[in-house]
Structure 1
Amino acid sequence: MEVLYINSSVLLVSHRPLNVTPQQTVYEHCKDMPTVIIWYLGLQFINMFLGIPANLTVLWLIHKNKGDSSTSDIFILHLAVLDMLFCLIPPLELANIVFLTTSSTWYVLRFFYGIKDSSPLFLSCICLDRYVAVVHPITFTELKDRQHRAVLAMAVWLITLAYAAAKCVGNIAHFEKVFTAMILTAFAFMVFCNITILWVLRQSGPGRDEKHPVKKRAFKMVLIILAIIVFNYFPPVALFPFQDYFSADVFSCYIHYLAFGLMDFSSTIQPMLYLSKEKMPRSLDCCRTSTTHVQ
């Protein structure tokens, strides 16, 4: 079958290296530098074995605590669903990279890649919700019980599905610029929100005020979130705009899988972070109620 390639930047659309013939697998194309591909596939299977149960646990806890939950939980719930869907693809991805030469399965993979590419949008919604809560508490109180969060979540899903469908087609000229613009904008927005939150919490004296342990925990948690955002999303932000400075083989077999591997691993790290700040029930008989987390 014919493989769809339209320009030197199509890698960001197809996730398939350049110059791969219909008779050649991705692994065969990168046989001279396979280390990063092996590492990438290892991370994807870690995502499957840890990410799926972690995201299922997040969904269960949000459902269990729905009567006493954070306003950001609606975005965390949708993010967990998105990440769980993405965590289903490693077996197909392994087969496609190592064994298959047909281009038909890339349509399915591109759709799921498109879904994952859009996960920073839900993270941005979480950061925005926390930003308003900390920096503009009066406005947050007025909006707390409104339905705008559900509307915003549905709007993000519409954007996500439209983006994934367009990426699935795979022959839209310069479509890779959409991903670059989206990841750069979301990254800058998330960093701004979290740094501002840290500054405001710091002004309230989390290091000096012994009477506010909740603010101390919030300060530490936002600091961890900021570190994870930088760890998972900084590599594509830093590397993809400079794609033309790398050779085609180095970018497609090394830089590409390094950046996407770190970004995709957020499907495990994000639910683990949420669970780390939750007080889990001591038993799984569903008869005990876990306490809610801090806003």
Structure 2
Amino acid sequence: MLTQYALYPRTNYTLISTPSHNTTIPELPNTTSKPFSVFDGCDNMVEGILFDLVVQTFNIVVGLPANILVIAILIRNRRDPSTSDIFLGCLAFMDAYFGLMLPVSFLNLYHWQSMKAWLALKFSYGVKDTSGPLFLSCICLDRFVAVLFPIAFGRLKDAKYRAGLAAFVLGLTFAYASAKTVGGLPNFEKVFTGEVLATFMWMVVCNASILWALKRSRGAGKDEMHPMKKKAFKMVLSLLAIIVCNYLPLVALFPFQDHYSPVAFTCYVQPVGFAFLNISSSIQPLVYLSRLERVPFLPGSVTKTLCCKEKTEPSPA
């Protein structure tokens, strides 16, 4: 029988496998024969799990097609790419992979109850835990250098540098996901906590520095910012807001994991915190699509609805 650990493979807590002081050996057969439930161990504390399941459903309906559309657009524009496209493409691909695994998660919870499927889900959660923060950090780094160190950025425009960095991030991602799948490593969950804290601080400082530099870069005697820089300012500001919304709950809650009871952490803190991380698989591609003047493969009426407003300027590289 699967336990709560199967619902949230990111954690090392297993409520069923942690007997209470009153548990006796004769009670074990009743425990193992208990009917499977998605809320196993959290039967009276289901709100957090329901919240995460709603978010996962949203990712299937909205996030998966949005990420596929982003990948198609990046492939279509491959002859005239921006410097961050390789990171955006890798991020969209990983989020699309994560979205594809969500139906597997539901099928395994309610039908298959397979250990092999459970291990595959653990690997996909490991990919999501690592790829999102690291590739967003790469995008922030690319824009940070472009705005604050334009001369150095011009020398490092060759795609091979970004391809090498993307390959390094993919190596870290698959190493982390493989270690999570194998399991058994002491204090392994603290690796994720440290990663989120480090990448969150970097992204906030990086984007704040970009905003500060763009705000100060007005022409002499002018009160208005250059239209292209103004567009870049709004884009970075929206990205900073998304980073704060998606990662702040994890940063605020997970470092204090030892202060919660295992049941409260597993049933409330963990599913709610990861739900905010998971929803980034939908928000990130939608923000990218909303910045485009016209979304290829979609009719104009859909593009008008998707984008914040009609854009008359070309998108910045």
User: Which has the higher Rg, Structure 1 or Structure 2?
Assistant: 2
Counterpart CA distance in 1 for 2:275 and 2:168 is 27
Normalised to the residue count of structure 1, the TM-score between the two structures is 0.88
Matched with 1:88 is 100
**Structure 2 equivalent of residue 224 of structure 1:** 238
Q: Deviations over 1:256-284 (max 9, x none)?
A: 00000010110000000110101225765
Aligned with residue 168 of structure 1, among 163, 166, 181: 181
Asked whether the 8 Å contact 2:144–2:209 carries over to 1, the reply is yes
> Which has the higher mean CA deviation after the structures are superposed, 276-285 or 175-184?
276-285
Count matched residues.
286
Paired AA for residue 19 in structure 1: L
Whether 2:15 is the aligned partner of 1:19: answer yes
* Structure 1 position 117 matched with structure 2 position 117: no
Q: 1:282 to 1:103 in 2, by over 3 A?
A: closer
1:233 corresponds in structure 2 to 247
Q: Residue 171 and residue 68 in structure 1: after superposition, are their counterparts in 2 closer, same or farther (change >3 A)?
A: same
TM-score by length of 2: 0.82
**CA contact 1:236–1:260 (8 Å) conserved in 2:** yes
**Rounded Cα–Cα distance in structure 2 between residues aligned with 1:262 and 1:282:** 29
SS at 1:125's partner residue? helix
Matches of 2:297 and 2:4 in 1, distance apart?
52
Mark the CA change 1:255 to 1:3 in structure 2 (over 3 Å): closer, same or farther. Answer: closer
Q: CA deviation at 1:178?
A: 1.0
Could you tell me which residue of structure 2 aligns to residue 37 of structure 1?
A: 49
Q: How well do the aligned residues superpose, as a CA RMSD in angstroms? A: 2.7
The 10-residue stretch of structure 1 (233-242 or 62-71) with the greater mean CA deviation from structure 2: 62-71
Name the counterpart of 1:148.
161
Matched, 1:64 2:60: no
Indicate the structure whose relative CO is greater, using CA pairs within 8 Å and at least 6 residues apart: 1
The answer as to 2:213 corresponding to 1:200 is yes
- Contact 1:180–1:241 (CA<8 Å) still a contact in 2? yes
Shift of 1:161: 0.7
2:210 is aligned with 1:214: no
What is the alpha-carbon distance in structure 2 between the residues aligned to residue 243 and residue 282 of structure 1?
45
Question: For 2:67, which of 41, 55, 59 is the aligned residue?
Answer: 55
Aligned-pair identity (%): 45
- Distance in 1 separating the partners of 2:188 and 2:180: 8
Deviation at 1:89, TM superposition (A): 2.0
String of CA shifts for 1:101-130, please: whole Å, max 9, x gaps.
665432111100000011210110000000
Q: Identify which of 259, 263, 279 aligns with 1:249.
A: 263
Contact 1:14–1:170, Cα closer than 8 Å, also in 2: no
Gaps of 5+ in 2: 18-31, 300-312
